[in-house]
Amino acid sequence: MTGPSPTLPLPPVPGPLPAATPLVVGLSGGLDSTVLLHRLAGDPGLRARGLRAIHVDHGLHPDSAAWGRACARECAALGIALDIVAVDARDAGGLGPEGAARRARHAAFERLLGDDEVLVLAHHLDDQAETFLLRALRASGPDGLAAMRPWRRFGRAWLWRPLLGLPRDALRAYAQAHGLTWIEDPGNDDDRFDRNFLRAQVLPLLRGRWPHASAALARSAALGADAAELLHAGDVQALARVATADPRCLSVSALCALSRARRQRVLRHWTGGLGLPPLPAQGVSRIEHDLLGARPDADAAFAWHGARVRRWRDLLHADVERVTLPADWSVAWDGRAPLPLPTGGTLALEGADALPGTCRVHARRGGERIHRAGRAHSQALKQVLQALEVPPWVRAGLPMVSDDTGTVLAAGDLVLAARLDAWLREHDARLRWTDPGDAPPPALADACNPNCD
């Protein structure tokens, strides 16, 4: 006589969310996510919230389309709606194959998730142990050693990992007892990938000596998460002390007044909260040595993965690398419609139908002079911008407005010639230059540390 089929205990859906908040399973078709989908689909209360699935086809294996069809059959049998999305998971940013696939997958999830929906992923206790070891071998600090969080914000949605407390063996026993079928990805057997090597070679050896090794490592990750939460609260307070009116800028002198350990955490928290790629291992040290230790007039910078931190005077500025106006770019503009710029920004006339004459908008060429209101003579534009304390990274992207004789009328909307200034005042109009960097970044206090997971 056989006993009852094993079940998988699930914690309640965390967070202060309404009971109607939908759950969305990240379904790869492998053992873990197949078990998760089956378990959630068998719970009337969870189904009542709204339950669907997303399968991401990375296109990295010849059979990947067949895996999507297998997921579709499984969802149809359970009466679950499924979205299948193909992504480009090629490594174009030095992340490595696993990192590139993860980034593409998470970007797809974020596109398909609605406000406050809950993405449910099937990571389990053994996955957590592997992640902890990987982070330790990469010399991660408390944030990295906290490994995967069971519950956190995920863009405009949430991410929930209800199986983190259960070992892989429990999932396999459940699948076998319920007669589930799943996909075996041959890539999981490739020991060239770090996680696969840990799973196949290292953890079995550790468990041979310490049977509870995976549980102990996962417990260490949980303790690390507690410590990281406390440190995070201090980081938020310290960041507020060094912040400026522009979230992309910090005060160098205030940063230097912090302890070295706190300063390093604040720098990572700051860049992560701006949505920039995680700083590399030596990134903070480079910023401290090359930028904080630089002369205020050195215009020092540190770049990584399409992002850049610059030092200018008492400011540290962080942003993605931005395209400057091509040196030979020049177009006619009459102000009747906003002018798209090659940098992604716009130049617009507000409050009037058109400029008094057709102008040319072009990149800075150097040596420009401008005659401002209240001045008897023209001034070098470079000196004007320096006197206004316009940072070098802003100066580099300024669109110039000149009349048909080549006389400079405006530098963006920051500096106006007397003639254009008088005309705008007379017509109650204004010139507005918007830059791609003007968009507000995510709230820094709520940003997840990029080392989280």
Element (H, E) at 239: helix 213-242
Q: Is 31 annotated as a binding residue?
A: yes
Q: Is 285 annotated as a binding residue?
A: no
**How high is the pLDDT of residue 448?**
37
Give which of 257, 229, 264 is closest to 242, Cα–Cα: 257
Taking the whole predicted model, whether its pTM rises above 0.85 is answered as no
Class of domain 243-321: mainly alpha
**How high is the pLDDT of residue 380?**
95
CATH 3.40.50.620 domain span(s) along the chain: 23-213
Q: Kindly state the tokens that stand for 395.
A: 């100066």
**How high is the pLDDT of residue 206?**
96
Contacts (Cβ under 8 Å, ≥6 apart) of 356 = 423
Q: Kindly state the tokens that stand for 392.
A: 């070098």
**How high is the pLDDT of residue 189?**
80
Q: What is the CATH number of domain 23-213?
A: 3.40.50.620
Residue type, 279: L
Q: Is 32 annotated as a binding residue?
A: yes
**How high is the pLDDT of residue 442?**
44
**How high is the pLDDT of residue 93?**
59
Residue 335 φ then ψ, to 5°: 85, 0
**How high is the pLDDT of residue 451?**
39
Q: Is 28 annotated as a binding residue?
A: yes
Residue 254 φ then ψ, to 5°: -70, -40
Residue 395 φ then ψ, to 5°: -55, -40
CATH 1.20.59.20 domain span(s) along the chain: 243-321
Q: Is 43 annotated as a binding residue?
A: no
362-375 in b/e form (b: 16+ CB < 10 A) is bbbeeebebeeeee
Q: What is the mean pLDDT of each run of 10 residues along the chain (453 residues)?
A: 66 75 95 96 91 91 90 96 89 68 90 93 97 92 91 92 95 95 85 90 95 96 93 95 94 96 94 89 91 84 92 92 88 95 93 93 93 92 91 88 94 95 96 76 40 47
